[in-house]
Amino acid sequence: MVLEKSKLIGNKTLEISGSKSISNRLLILQKLFGTIIIENLSNSQDSQLLEAALANDAETIDIHHAGTAMRFLTSYYAIQEGKTHILTGSDRMKQRPIKFLVDALRDLGAEISYLENEGFPPLKITGKKLEKSSVTIPANISSQFISSLMLIGAKLENGLEIHLEGKVTSRPYLEMTLKILRTIGISYRWEENSIQIFPEIKNTLKNSHSIPFVVESDWSSASYFYSIAAIARDSINLKYFKPYSLQGDSVLREIYWKYFGVNTISEGAESRISLLPEKYFSFPEKIILNMNDCPDIAQTLCVTATAMNIPFEITGLSTLKVKETDRLLALKNELFKIGCIAEITEDSIVSQKFFEPNETISIETYNDHRMAMSFAPFCLIKSLNIQNEEVVEKSYPAFWDDFHKILDKLD
């Protein structure tokens, strides 16, 4: 897809689908407890794949690129007594490690085997009653491994106590999972590095009354429009967002205010936020930021900073190496195409120098939805081509429609 050099049409309003992260957690809980009505469910491909898998009685379940589905279903199928499932995915999914989650479930008594390479999907899972109620897992792995265990915790006879070894990665995502559990009536306790999910379920889950849950819109999807507002220095309105969010990526409000001068005004009655760039903002000499709690918006921030020639040093990004692609390496490669020489380590990316990019820019997306969407705002600076643009369907199928609603080509 060729994106011509464009300008922002100020003060347009967009409606963004429900959070993928919240939706996927609710889909598992809905299947486990059957009392939840989900409103504003994410229309992302990931959520659709998970919903379809949960409704499918087939033995073999293919979740393609959906990493969250792979992780959440591994624990879910492990407690489906007497049922056997083969859980598989795309070639890239077969390269994404799942050993820590499988080891934890096996420690609890689960029956799981690898069908190809040790430590990686596809998996053969035979569901059974898990007798144990305590497990230890590294804290610095993907938070989805830990959330996967938390979601099934209340279904175990004695609940589940999860001991986290080391420093917790993406803590806000664990807090999100716990807040959702509390909302539907599941009790928990988090003290230091121990998370305990109690088996006792409050009356809301014991009786026949349904629990409505309205999914708030997705903050990581909002990040691309924060980038546009920052670069264009003009306003954008987004619906439906709550002033107080369950999502860790809502921290982008503070990040984009501190470093790019984009103010977020919440209009609670309309569940709308307005992104208003400060006209006389003093930009920082350098962005120094640990994004351990919000790694999914790191690509967007780096592109925004490059477009505005603001040096950056971003740390806390170790989990990006095991996403849809090695996002750190991919980011370094594609930033060079838009005029930034960057260096990476196992958990960081640092800009070294900015330069005038070539007239012809073609961004490779590496089958990664966030690569496509994070680089798209650079068309406010120069025309560029986004390869394999349909990858956005994974998390934000309407992205290109929304993107073109607020931009006009420059003459």
Per-residue model confidence as pLDDT tens digits over 379-403: 999 999 999 999 999 889 999 999 9
Assess whether pLDDT exceeds 90 at residue 154: yes
What's the whole-number mean pLDDT along residues 300-324? 90
Q: What is the mean pLDDT of residues 2-27?
A: 94
Condensed to tens digits (0 to 9), the pLDDT of residues 222-265 reads 999 999 999 999 999 998 888 788 888 999 999 999 999 999 99
Question: Looking at the predicted structure, is the pLDDT value of residue 170 above 80?
Answer: no
Domains of the chain: which residue ranges?
A: 2-17+217-409, 20-214
* Separation between Cα atoms, residue 153 and residue 200, nearest integer Å: 11
The CATH architecture of the domain made up of 20-214 is Alpha-beta prism (3.65)
CB 233 within 8 A of CB 383: no
Spatial CB neighbours of 304, under 8 Å, sequence gap ≥ 6: 226, 227, 230, 231, 256, 260, 377
Q: How many CB atoms lie under 10 A from the CB of residue 219?
A: 27
Domains 2-17+217-409 and 20-214 share a fold: yes
Catalytic entry in 46, 103, 249, 296: 296
pTM: 0.80
Tally of helices (H runs) and strands (E runs) in the chain = 13, 23
Q: Residue 40 in contact with residue 88, Cβ under 8 Å? A: no
The rounded distance, in Å, linking the Cα atoms of 385 and 372 is 10
Total residues belonging to the chain: 411
Q: pLDDT for 269-295, tens place per residue?
A: 678 899 999 999 999 999 999 998 899
- How far apart CA 404 and CA 375 sit, in angstroms, is 14
Whether the CB-CB separation of 352 and 343 falls below 8 Å is answered with yes
Mean of the per-residue pLDDT values of the chain = 92
At the top level of CATH, the class of 2-17+217-409 is: alpha beta
Q: Is residue 296 flagged as an active site residue? A: yes
